[in-house]
Amino acid sequence: MTPPVVDVDWLDQHPEAVLADVRWYPDGRSPLEAFAEGHLPGAIFISVDDVLAGPPSDEAGRHPLPGPAAFAASLGALGIGDDDVVVAYDDAGGVIAARLVWMLRAIGHEAALLDGGITAWAGATSTATTRRSPALFTPRPWPSERLADIDEVASAGQSLVVPASAPGDVLLDARPAERYAGAPDALDPRAGHVPGAVSLPAREHVDADGRLLPVEDLRERFTASGVTGENKVISSCGSGITACHTLLVMEHAGLGAGRLFPGSWSQWSRDPSRPSATGAPAPLQPDDSGDQRAAMTVGGAVPRAVAAAGTGAGTGPAAAPALGTVQEPSTGAYDVDAVRAHFPALEAGVAHFDSPGGTQVPREVADAIAASLTAPTANRGGLTAAARASEAIVAGFRASVADLLNADPRGVVLGRSATQLTFDLARTLSAGWGPGDEVVVSRLDHDANVRPWVIAAQRAGARVRWLDFDPETGELTPDHLRAVLGERTRLVAVTGASNLIGTRPDVTALAALAHDSGALTWVDGVHLTAHAPVDVATLGADFYVCSAYKFLGPHCSALAASPDLLETLRPDKLAPSTDAVPERFELGTLPYELMAGATAAVDFLASLAPDASHADAADTTADTAAGAGRRARLVTAMTAVEAHEDRLRERLEEGLAALPGVVLRSRAAHRTPTLLLTYPSAAPGTAAAASEHLAALGVNAPASSFYALEASRHLGLGDAGGLRVGLAPYSDDRDVDRLLDGLRGFTAG
């Protein structure tokens, strides 16, 4: 791991490091002009206001942390990628540049502060503008254990005035002593400091040359302020900038990480319910416990803490645990309660068994979409920051889908829906078909993997052959495929899992048979991807489609295929549009906000790996975010999701077996947690009536054939289908109990 602070000699030994010029002047001077007048050779300029802070507000302060997606897009647009080591500098002793370094290190990225900043550089500076190619910087959430919200700050402040309330907490104020004492300040509506805060000016950590004091001196300063290296420390300042320097220096001195109060005084002073204190820092005195505490006069009573331990950066009971820390570290078990806390829709109290038609969305996905819409974006390119941001979002989408499916990101195509992608590729693939050629479609499939091929075959004069399944067992076997394969079979279209009855055919065996006959395989993975780890290479799928809204994301889809295979296909496209793969298959300007949301959904899934813990959240979040680390965590996470859902499915099946008149159509040995219920001895429309009964109880379980028209007919259910019950990562035992109770009541009635 890169140390938190490095010197120019370290830079000489690490020429690969990305230099970031992070100058900023509160007096109104232009840092960009200062950069243009001279900077370290090869450095890029990073704006505090545009990159390192979100929009200011009374609720969040003058420099709140930006959203993870916006931060990632900005860095990616500037050419900083997941694997780049960043060294930041300024001309103010590091108190500004430390903001970038702290932000990066908080999410597990390699970064360091250049001791002494630009003044420590002995060589010539440069006036040339460095342009780096856009890179992939994967969004990673701000870990809750590195942040403190305003109520936790109030609690920490109280512990300094009333030690028994929370002994060991230390609240540091990094502003100059005069601002702490209450000198008039045009930046904020009130002067003073948070009651109980200890004054420890950040600029006093450095000498006259802007270099950090020796480590021994730094440790002495922190120790005198009550920091022991074992207690809880929160760092604040005016707006959350110089407070980062305090935290970085603490780490440099071996005193732990501490937490940042992002809004700092700019947030506290705007809340009239929060008391303030004034007066110069008082001499440190031992409190009753023997710890060092600052004795000071408090201007008003300190409110009792209202934040519960473990809340994240948000306030109130709805604040969710940080992504990447949703599991209990002591057991390694799948913690569904922690997962559910991320889904605002669940607060309505409805039990959702409608996930096969589309899942609920976690906050992180909504935040990523909002951040991409409010950040500067433009048509993709490399000229402007906005264009580079869009480029980075696209690259992030392809990389995340590739990790989810173990595919090549160069072969990931965005689509509006799986239906649209299948129709588009069916037209393209069938351009080479003719009379005598055959295409195999499955009666088990959603119509989106049936009708496009039927229509394409009819137009080409090719023959459609139907792949049946056993309606009694729900199984589709290799023997079923052998019966319809021929020498002229061009393509076999099959589902990875039935969206109606959950059957998971042996796609690997089916694909091998298809390939032996010289045919391509098109796998509809829309339903499968939401419930199990997927490896397109192991499946043998030449084409694999999935939809983000089925795995906690927004309404968009993706196709994964070999880039070499895609190179052989010539879709219809506009003359000026690129002919590069995969872009040649994507028509029009891409929906960047949906791509950002899909990436966030993949990252959220990766965070569900049961070994995530509060202790190592920074490291595991970094692993989640990039390359093989995210892929490995996705496999672990989806394996845990599969086990969780299968356990609930077995409970459901046991309860349903006891209900008179109910027939369970989901019987395959290998199946997803998707159950189809029918009432064959009851009047037509009973399944729909059961759905209405459940809806009145706040249980969503719809009745239909759900576009699996051929499957419903093959089961003898006509076009009506049955009552479908589907589980999701956020389903729990209480949901199962409510469903079973509701069905018992319906049956009894």
Query: What amino acid positions are annotated as catalytic residues?
Result: 237
Six token digits for residue 144: 């809750």
The beta-strand segments (E) located in 451-554 are 463-467, 489-495, 520-524, 543-547
Nearest to 24 by CA among 217, 234, 239, 248: 239
Peptide bond into 582 cis (omega under 30): yes
- With contact defined as beta carbons under 8 Å apart, do 165 and 158 qualify? yes
Is residue 340 classed exposed, middle or buried when 0-12, 13-18 and 19+ CB atoms within 10 A define those classes? buried
Q: Which two tokens stand for residue 471?
A: 């309606």
Show the CA angle centred on residue 359, arms to residues 356 and 362, nearest 5°: 160
| 354: DSSP letter | B
| Long-range interactions of 450-454: CB distance < 8 A, separation 24+ | 450/493, 450/709, 450/710, 452/419, 452/422, 452/423, 452/426, 453/422, 453/426, 453/491, 453/493, 453/522
DSSP letter at 175 equals: S
Exposed, middle or buried by CB within 10 Å (0-12, 13-18, 19+), for 427? Answer: middle
Q: Dihedral of CA 683/688/690/696: which sign?
A: negative
Question: To which H or E segment does residue 403 belong?
Answer: helix 385-405
What is the identity of the amino acid at 137? Answer: F
Strand partners, 206: 212
The answer to whether the CB of 243 falls within 8 A of the CB of 236 is yes
What the block records as the tokens of 427 is 């037209």
Cβ atoms of 565 and 429 closer than 8 Å: no
Which residue from 325, 305, 3, 359 is spatially nearest to 166, judged by alpha carbons? 305
Q: How far apart are CA 396 and CA 388, in angstroms?
A: 12
What does the DSSP 8-state code read for residue 147?
B
Alpha-carbon dihedral of residues 630, 636, 641, 647, nearest 10 degrees? Answer: 180
Distance separating the N- and C-terminal Cα atoms of the chain? 65
DSSP 3-state assignment of 736? Answer: helix
Q: 547, 98, 496, 172: which is closest to 355 by C-alpha?
A: 547
What whole-number distance in Å separates Cα of residue 648 and Cα of residue 666?
A: 15
Q: How far apart are CA 181 and CA 293, in angstroms?
A: 17
